[in-house]
């Protein structure tokens, strides 16, 4: 194999331009340097690559054979460079975000749409998982950052995660307006437990905050209907299975229509939506833009109880 691949590069330019002087200009070298390089290449190959007639040069049969191969190689090099540039561009614009279902309920789907409209080249990868799964994804570098919801009491448990407060949400006890219950009365937590109750399973961060409320009041919360997600809790509550407990955003539309009503009782401690990323992680330019865009976004109005 030829000891210096630059010989082939010089040969490619001379053959393409059919001119030593034009090749020299394209390569930003002297014409004599081009001539010397071609001479060395011919010596190593043991053949003549060009015939010269005055100022005109032509490829010999050996030169034609070599040019056919070198041309293919250089085209592949150019394709590789383009692929790398496209890959780097895509990588810079590729953002992986973890967003819980509840966060989307608070308007962050609209937020992502607004950002996408401003930056049409961005590639968004969204993971919708539980808060604990989000923490794992951050530690494994599977996502750039996440919107997570936890109580302030639980935030300190994850010292390797950088948490920035975004806003707070209120979880509420609700029931169908057709359910036989006095909505004007303020109920104690123990009185609520005399009714069928509806909630998500213990594995959720939501339940950890709710269970602590009952424990602090000397009670154990064991829902009659234990469901997989908030949408199921909402639907079961609307069908009068019992008293449901879920973030206000899920019930907002039905409360405004009057099909569901909030039950007056000891309020569930508010939880905070945090923007979370792994401490020390460097975010790309586009990723940092989305991070700041979310920080400034106005969420839907929540309720104080």
Quick: pLDDT tens for 38-67. 899 888 889 999 988 766 788 999 989 998
For residues 221 and 214, the answer to whether their CB atoms sit within 8 Å is yes
The confidence score (pLDDT) of residue 251 equals 92
Q: Is the confidence at residue 127, as pLDDT, over 60?
A: yes
Range with the largest mean pLDDT of 71-75, 76-80, 161-165, 222-226: 222-226
Q: How far apart are CA 284 and CA 293, in angstroms?
A: 14
Window from 89-98, 187-196, 237-246 with minimum mean pLDDT? 89-98
Confidence of residue 85 (pLDDT cuts 50, 70, 90): low
- Answer with the residue of higher pLDDT: 203 or 277: 277
Do 163 and 272 meet the contact criterion of CB atoms below 8 Å apart? no
- pLDDT at position 232 is 94
Helices assigned H by DSSP within 104-247:
109-118, 131-139, 152-155, 189-192, 205-216, 230-238
User: Cα torsion at 221, 226, 231, 235 (round to 10°)?
Assistant: -100
What pLDDT, on a 0 to 100 scale, did the predictor assign at position 89? 45
- Residue 90 has a pLDDT of 45
pTM over 0.75? The answer is no
What is the pLDDT, as a whole number, of residue 172?
95
Average pLDDT along the chain: 85
DSSP state of 105: I
54: left (phi over 0), alpha (psi -120 to 50) or beta: left
Per-residue pLDDT tens over the stretch 24-41: 888 888 989 988 998 998
Whether residue 120 is predicted with pLDDT greater than 90 in this model: the reply is no
Which pLDDT does position 171 carry in this prediction?
A: 93
200-203's contacts with Cβ under 8 Å and 24+ in sequence apart are 200/226, 200/227, 200/228, 200/229, 200/230, 200/233, 200/246, 201/226, 201/227, 201/228, 203/130
In this predicted model, what pLDDT tens digit does every residue of 205-221 receive, in sequence order? 788 889 999 999 999 99
> What does the pLDDT average to over 182-199?
95
Phi, psi for residue 179 in degrees, rounded to 5: -75, 145
Residue 143 has pLDDT above 70, yes or no: yes
CA 296, CA 132: separation in Å to the nearest integer?
25
Average pLDDT (186-203) is 92
Set out the domains of the chain in order of their start, with CATH numbers. Answer: 6-59 (1.10.10.10), 171-269 (3.40.190.10)
> pLDDT grade, residue 259 (50/70/90)?
very high
C-alpha of 269 from chain center: 29
E-strand stretches of the chain: 50-53, 56-59, 94-99, 123-127, 145-150, 161-169, 171-176, 186-187, 197-200, 225-227, 243-247, 260-262, 264-265, 271-278
123: three-class secondary structure by DSSP: strand
Confidence class of residue 84 from pLDDT cuts 50, 70 and 90? low
CA distance 278 to 267: 32
pLDDT at 86 over 60: no
Answer whether residue 105 shows pLDDT above 70.
Answer: yes
Which residues pair with residue 163 across a beta bridge?
A: 276
303 falls in which pLDDT band (50, 70, 90)? low
| Predicted pLDDT at 280 | 82
């Amino acid at each position: 194999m030829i000891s210096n691949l630059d010989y082939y590069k010089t040969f490619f330019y001379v053959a393409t331009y059919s001119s030593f002087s034009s090749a020299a200009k394209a390569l930003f070298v002297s014409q004599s340097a081009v001539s010397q390089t071609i001479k060395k290449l011919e010596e190593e190959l043991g053949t003549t690559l060009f015939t010269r007639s005055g100022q005109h040069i032509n490829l010999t049969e050996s030169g034609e054979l070599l040019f056919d191969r070198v041309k293919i190689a250089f085209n592949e090099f150019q394709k590789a460079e383009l692929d790398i540039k496209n890959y780097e561009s895509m990588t810079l614009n590729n953002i992986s975000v973890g967003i819980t279902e509840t966060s989307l309920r608070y308007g962050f789907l609209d937020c992502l749409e607004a950002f996408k409209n401003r930056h049409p080249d961005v590639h968004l990868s969204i993971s919708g998982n539980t808060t604990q799964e989000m923490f794992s994804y951050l530690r494994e570098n599977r996502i750039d950052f996440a919107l997570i919801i936890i109580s302030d009491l639980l935030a300190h448990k994850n010292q390797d995660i950088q948490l920035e407060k975004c806003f707070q949400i209120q979880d509420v006890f609700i029931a169908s307006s057709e359910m036989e219950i006095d909505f004007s009365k303020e109920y104690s937590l123990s009185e609520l437990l005399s009714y069928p109750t509806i909630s998500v399973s213990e594995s959720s961060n939501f339940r950890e905050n709710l269970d602590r409320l009952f424990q602090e009041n000397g009670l154990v919360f064991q829902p009659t209907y234990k469901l997989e997600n908030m949408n199921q809790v909402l639907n079961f509550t609307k069908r009068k299975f019992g008293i449901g407990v879920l973030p206000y955003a899920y019930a907002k539309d039905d409360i405004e229509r009057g099909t569901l009503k909030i039950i007056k009782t000891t309020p569930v401690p508010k939880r905070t939506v945090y923007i979370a990323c792994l401490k020390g992680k460097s975010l790309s330019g586009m990723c940092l833009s989305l991070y700041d865009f979310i920080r400034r976004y106005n969420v839907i109005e929540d309720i104080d109880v």
